[in-house]
Structure 1
Amino acid sequence: MTEARTPAQKTARRRKVQAVLAGGLVLGLGAAVTMANWNDSEFAEGLFGSASFNLEGSTDGEAYTDHDAVDEAAQLTFAADNMTPGQTVYAPFWVRLDADTTIDGSVEASDGIGVVASSGENAAHLSYEVLADPDSCDAAGAASGTSVASGADLSEGIGSTTSFDLSAGDGDAGTPVLLCFEVQASQDDFLQDDTTEVTWEVTATSVDNP
């Protein structure tokens, strides 16, 4: 048999139920606040292709190839088998950017042309000058070129004095630049019965695209 509740007991029970319901409402509000916010993203991708840059040379202005190591150096043709004191000899060498090159370049004044190897006693008694784009590479035409490098002797070292530009050919080889190598024997100290060998390096540097 259920015991009858007094009015005071009924009022206390109702307050407890209301308190539980109120607590449930508080919990419900808390759950709504912790829901994740919506988000959305955009993605962007970039592709970066490198340029091609290659210098090639020719001793006759027609047949070009790479000479990219000291032991693969192009053989310049000087009339220098029987030199005498004070004599000057000349040899042409053409340089250009090859057909695969996609960016312009330059031969810099600071480090573009220099002697990288030499031998023979007369290396100290032979001076040189390199002239760009002369009318011809001989006694008659060399002086019309622009002096881009020189050295008081054929010892190793950079001889560049003036920069010059090289243009890419947009699918074709670039416009060649004639370099005339002028070598002069000392009037006073040039030695007999000596063979001197020298190797120059021509270094082109790529130019940044705009």
Structure 2
Amino acid sequence: MGLVLGTGAGATLAAWTDPVLAEGDFRASVFDVEANTSSPYDPAGPWMSPEDDPSAFDVDTTPMVPGSVRYAPLALRTVTGSIGGTVMLEGAAVEADGSGDADLGSALRYRIIAANNCDGSAFTTTATYLIGGPSSTVPLTTGQDPSSPAPLPAATADAPGPVVRLCLELTLPQGAADSEDLQGRTMAARWTVIAVSESP
């Protein structure tokens, strides 16, 4: 605030300032996500933070024969006190012991839905597909469409956020029977979930 006093024409003007300070306490929001890969799903966990294990899925693919199907559940939630956000699954990082016709990682296909149950009955035409579709599966290296992330609700000050449950279906197609080179091959695939906080 400024105050100016004048004593007439030609007089010297003097100015006093009276600074008024605005004061506030500020705190950055908290965004933290944890995952639960128990199978079958156990709400008690264990719940793991990215510092514990940054990968969402770690699927055992052996032993599989053409036509085999495996299921892997994943539960996500924000930790107590966290704001909400979105999650997106990247394509898998695949390590296989073969190449070409002997590459088990290239032969496998998968899809992922949002569902409380994780078995074949959950993959209906009306399910919410994050990757793949009701009648389609994709290579393991295919990730979720970046324009369609899954919402991850905020937590409260006293409790974690609502749980978002996903289900991965992994298939070795019947057509793999045409490649004897796949027999005995192994691979490891790891999927990573990218969580992004909501805009303020």
Map 1:68-79 onto structure 2 (within 5 A): 68=51, 73=55, 76=58
Q: Which of the pair is proportionally richer in strand?
A: 2
Residues 65-109 of structure 1: CA deviation (Å, up to 9, x unaligned): 11347x65466465x4221113221111111111131x11122xx
Higher RCO (C-alpha under 8 Å, 6+ residues apart): 2
Residues 45-77 of structure 1: CA deviation (Å, up to 9, x unaligned): 3432111111100112321111347x6546646
- Which residue does 1:133 correspond to in 2? 115
Do the aligned residues in 2 keep the contact of 1:76 with 1:93 (CA within 8 Å)? Answer: no
Asked whether 1:154 is paired with 2:154, we answer no
Q: 1:169 to 1:35 in 2, by over 3 A?
A: closer
* Whole-angstrom distance in 2 between the partners of 1:48 and 1:116: 39
Residues 152-175 of structure 1: CA deviation (Å, up to 9, x unaligned): 2123x5333743221122120111
* Whole-angstrom distance in 2 between the partners of 1:54 and 1:115: 22
Query: Between the two proteins, what is the percent identity of the paired residues?
Result: 27
TM-score norm. by structure 2 comes to: 0.73
Among 146, 152, 173, the alignment partner of 1:166 is 152
* Whole-angstrom distance in 1 between the partners of 2:166 and 2:51: 17
CA RMSD of aligned residues (A): 2.8
TM-score norm. by structure 1 comes to: 0.70
Q: 1:184 to 1:35 in 2, by over 3 A?
A: same
Q: Which of the pair is proportionally richer in helix?
A: 1
Do the aligned residues in 2 keep the contact of 1:133 with 1:145 (CA within 8 Å)? Answer: yes
Asked whether 1:67 is paired with 2:53, we answer no
Q: Secondary structure at the match of 1:124?
A: helix
Do the aligned residues in 1 keep the contact of 2:113 with 2:131 (CA within 8 Å)? Answer: yes
Question: In the alignment, residue 143 of structure 2 is paired with which amino acid?
Answer: I
Do the aligned residues in 2 keep the contact of 1:115 with 1:198 (CA within 8 Å)? Answer: no
Q: Secondary structure at the match of 1:91?
A: strand
- List gaps (5 residues or longer) in structure 2: 1-6, 97-102
1:125 Cα deviation from its structure 2 partner: 0.7
Q: Secondary structure at the match of 2:90?
A: strand
Q: 1:87 to 1:116 in 2, by over 3 A?
A: closer
Aligned residues: 172
Q: Secondary structure at the match of 2:17?
A: coil
Q: 1:42 to 1:72 in 2, by over 3 A?
A: closer
Higher Cα radius of gyration: 1
- List gaps (5 residues or longer) in structure 1: 1-28
Q: 1:182 to 1:116 in 2, by over 3 A?
A: closer
Question: In the alignment, residue 83 of structure 1 is paired with which amino acid?
Answer: M
Do the aligned residues in 1 keep the contact of 2:59 with 2:189 (CA within 8 Å)? Answer: no
Question: In the alignment, residue 158 of structure 1 is paired with which amino acid?
Answer: G
